[in-house]
Structure 1
């Protein structure tokens, strides 16, 4: 337990340092002492006292970089925690937040919004809102179909998700095929690659509470999540019926993933890679796994976004591409590592 507290404390400190350091990277280099000075005055609502020379830097930090860094931390945390939960729900080490058709639902929603103009009346973020609605509706359908003909099990949830994923992908391809809109197709492609460039303080008012509250919720459910890995038969002998918990966790995860898609498009691999890496570090007890995965996911996405901003001069690499390039080799390494096993230490 002492080791766990030390790991948690170290990761929290690393997260705070990462959020501060990440402000210094970008097309405009900013010194660390200037960052501390500007954030300190901003927190104290003392911006009017800033010298005129600091005003451009103040705008860069408070309007561009800091919202983006906080959004990266929240989405990284949310996707990593949902990855832990999904792997417990379906008892599958290859599960991630998008396995149950959520990504295909979001993709269909975004495609319909961009190429058919569905949801234009919802405002400038109508593509993200349509993607969120698509992701959440598909999650509800997965639960509904998995319960047809008997109670939902982990196997039925996976199969329902795969079936709906295929249907959503087919509809999205159908829309793209008949739309004949080159600009729209380019926008869809870029959106599906993910980006944190749209970060705003108004958006964070929604994302931050959802990320924190969902992580706290799943932390309080650590005992049930441990039982999910053991299976329904074992849980029943201990007096717990996992059926309702499985569906509740799936819907909460869908809300988190839906808002992540709404805010930043499709960002994969985090919910798959981070939980496995954390299990090597702290074991498979969800009381530890959930918060540590959240912290590691936040740190990982912050630095992935920094790399996207600086790896190619004067342009920004879509974050989905970079994470896939990093995540795929890491996942192969985890698979061939003989000392690692899903659900074990």
Structure 2
């Protein structure tokens, strides 16, 4: 009698992902640092890093060193963290809400975070005691609460999925209007110009202080998603099914929503509202690695990081002498990609 050995087969892809993730991320970071209007050779980047980290003493042009260390490297790291964080929030929201269209941009979280950040910047709420990220977190939490209330009220007349999406659209429009009102009423012309550019997504102002905030936030989001990956698998079948599988529904859902709001708020406070990352990346990764969150979470984090670094590169080189808002690039890429995913999914159905 022959025996069929089937257990080792799924192990190899997981090991490949674990080994390839740091390498792919490192290549993306080097590309984000090297590519721009001024091309920086890879060996120059390595010399600058060696000089900064270990005081190696390599001779490097001061202008190149300034571009690498003070501008591009920090920008690439923040882009990676924001891409990973936003992709993870999409994964969590789609699992919790059981809705393929759920993401922080569509659910009003990004709009609420933008409103909170602008309120702190323009109106000076908190008299300096409240930071930009704290204001963004308060706005994101308020927006999500409003969406939940609206969806609960609307569920009496329609399906839950439709109610959530419509409530998210309404909440996003409300907070976008509040943001525009605050800018028109209280911001100077220079402030308004800078804020409007930032709201479309901008990495131009990020520096190493932002790296110190972005990296821990992205790692916390990734760690929480990995810790609750089995719970996320269970939530895809509904809250009742998750409870029957032993998941403490309310506490786990509360933690996941709080982390989602926190990650969204921190990233929006640094780079503005960037759309399609949390929507497109999880869908694309499901086509590649499947729906199990043990693979979907790390794959989405890596793909989101690489995607936003690539979008930032394009924003700097598409128009010579001008930096485009990164949200424009993500929308130009994300909208056709999402349409392709929808058509492909309809063809399989």
Question: Above 0.5 in TM-score?
Answer: yes
Against the structure 1 CA distance between its residues 340 and 192, is the aligned structure 2 distance closer, same or farther, given a 3 Å change threshold? farther
Superposed CA offset, 1:47-66 (max 9, x none) = 6x243x53322221111111
Is structure 2 residue 62 aligned with structure 1 residue 55? yes
CA contact (8 A) 1:11 1:296 kept: no
Residues 69-108 of structure 1 mapped to structure 2, 5 A cutoff: 69-108=76-115
- Residue 106 of structure 1 and its aligned partner are, at CA, apart by 2.1
CA contact (8 A) 2:224 2:256 kept: no
Distance of 2:317 and 2:173 partners within structure 1 = 36
CA contact (8 A) 1:232 1:241 kept: no
Is structure 2 residue 39 aligned with structure 1 residue 29? yes
**Structure 1 segments unaligned to the other structure (5+ residues):** none
**Structure 2 segments unaligned to the other structure (5+ residues):** 1-9, 154-159
CA contact (8 A) 2:105 2:276 kept: no
* Match 1:233 to one of 211, 220, 240: 240
CA contact (8 A) 1:84 1:275 kept: yes
Provide the secondary structure at the position in 2 that maps to 1:337.
Answer: helix
In angstroms, what is the RMSD of aligned CA positions? 2.9
Against the structure 1 CA distance between its residues 154 and 332, is the aligned structure 2 distance closer, same or farther, given a 3 Å change threshold? closer
Provide the secondary structure at the position in 2 that maps to 1:189.
Answer: helix
- Residue 24 of structure 1 and its aligned partner are, at CA, apart by 1.5
Is structure 2 residue 21 aligned with structure 1 residue 17? no
Superposed CA offset, 1:270-314 (max 9, x none) = 111110010011000001100111011111111111111111111
1:40 corresponds in structure 2 to: 50
- Residue 183 of structure 1 and its aligned partner are, at CA, apart by 4.1
Superposed CA offset, 1:9-67 (max 9, x none) = 334322111211222112322111111222123221x16x243x533222211111111
Is structure 2 residue 137 aligned with structure 1 residue 135? no
CA contact (8 A) 2:235 2:241 kept: no
Distance of 1:21 and 1:104 partners within structure 2 = 31
Residues 165-204 of structure 1 mapped to structure 2, 5 A cutoff: 165-176=172-183, 178=185, 182-204=189-211
- Residue 323 of structure 1 and its aligned partner are, at CA, apart by 0.7
Question: Could you tell me the TM-score, scaled by structure 2's length?
Answer: 0.85
- Residue 216 of structure 1 and its aligned partner are, at CA, apart by 1.3
Provide the secondary structure at the position in 1 that maps to 2:236.
Answer: helix
CA contact (8 A) 1:19 1:69 kept: yes
Residue correspondences, number: 334
Greater alpha carbon shift after TM alignment, 332-341 vs 278-287: 332-341
Greater alpha carbon shift after TM alignment, 332-341 vs 269-278: 332-341
2:319 corresponds in structure 1 to: 312
